[in-house]
Amino acid sequence: MGPKAARAMYVVLFTLSMLSSWVLRDYARPLIKELPWIKIHHAATGKDPTAAWCGEQAVLRVSMAQFVFFLALAALTVGVRHANDGRNAVHLKGWWLKLILWVGLIFGSFFLPEGAVNGYRYVAKAGSAIFLLVQVLILLDFAYEWNENWVARDEDRWFAALFAASASCYVGVIVLAGLSFAYFSHCSINVFFITISLLIVLVITMASLHPRAHNGSLLPAAVISLYCMYLCFSAMTSEPDTCNGMPGASTSETFLAAGLAVTLLSVVYSALRAGSSTVMSTEGSSDAKADEYEALQHSDKGGRSSTGADDSDDEEELGAIGERREDADDEDDPMDIKQVPYNYSFFHLIFACAACYYAMLLTDWGDLTHHQDKDTINVGWASVWVKVICEWVTAGIFLWTLVAPSVVQGREF
């Protein structure tokens, strides 16, 4: 199995675990109450465990199993940079063994004492914070890369497209601000959130257009402005009480289905993108490099297709790769045939943090005392403040990218 196929398999396992956590939280409580650890808790407290407690324990245990699974893989693949490293097989092979381990960890987690799960709760909060930070860095990298790619084309139509994209983002900001005032301004705390968000938009836009701003440009500022305003709006929709001006959304089946799909997909996408990108990894790479890696591995096996005929497309691709390699120094050539296409250890570490994050989403950041309604995700005051703080941190990091080169000279940003 090649690196791209292996990456897809890990995504499937992660997605299954996340969906299983959600199902167990909302639909398997009668079964959960019959498990040994529930009965032990019942005997110790003399009270019947609540539905919220059962759901929270189920989510945390499945999440903990995924955290251990991916953290173990991350530890086993630390420093794997070349295909001839024996630990390369840890990432690419042994799928039946991995599947047995994956299922065993989930099953075994339900027999752990409650104290172990309560300890993991704090680990999950820390892991979630790391995952949210990586999400912000991924977004910043995307915004700058988008701007650089279009500016590099140096054509009037691409500059027009840049302006149109920037304008569209700011229109989105205005729309979200209008909806926020219309539905949520009856609470003073929401007025505070909206006002701060609009000030953030103004500050980062002006800062990005300042002559001394490093790589200052309107498009990255527009993207970050839209994201910050979205986080503000999303935070207010997560409010569980009368401050939420859209209470009907929590009972709309269509809205719930769409919200669940977007939330779950965003977690998977962020983990996948971060785990195989170069944003926080010095050894990361792209899908193109993964394709070249697999093509080169194929050439080592004879370079022939399954029909026995020469594969002319592979030969042309390998020839192009070879020409690029000849132009580079052998010692520092990033296209070395034996170099892995992305950082395996970092990939698994990001998925371990993502497992922490979905546990927090499903349990209102580790507290289901006032349980969310069935099928809801990321609702509660803890979720509100996490989103608001994430918005402020995003704006702060973006402003730092503009001023850091002037403050800390001699370093590359």
Tens-place pLDDT, residues 49-73: 777 788 888 899 999 999 999 999 9
CA trace torsion 43, 47, 52, 54 (10° rounding): 20
143-187 per-position pLDDT tens digit: 898 988 888 887 888 889 999 999 999 999 999 999 999 999 889
What is the average pLDDT across 275-301? 53
Contacts of residue 355, defined as CB under 8 A and 6 or more positions apart, other chains included, come to: 14, 17, 18, 63, 66, 67, 70, 127
Burial class (CB in 10 A: 0-12, 13-18, 19+), 221: buried
The answer to whether 223 and 146 have CB atoms below 8 angstroms apart is: yes
Report which of residues 383 and 323 the model is more confident about.
383
CA trace torsion 78, 129, 275, 352 (10° rounding): 60
**Confidence class of residue 338 from pLDDT cuts 50, 70 and 90?**
low
Strand extents, DSSP E, 212-266 = none
The answer to whether 340 and 82 have CB atoms below 8 angstroms apart is: yes
Interatomic CA distance for residues 377 and 262, integer angstroms: 11
Helix (DSSP H) and strand (DSSP E) numbers for the chain = 15, 0
Per the structure block, which two tokens stand in for 149?
């790619």
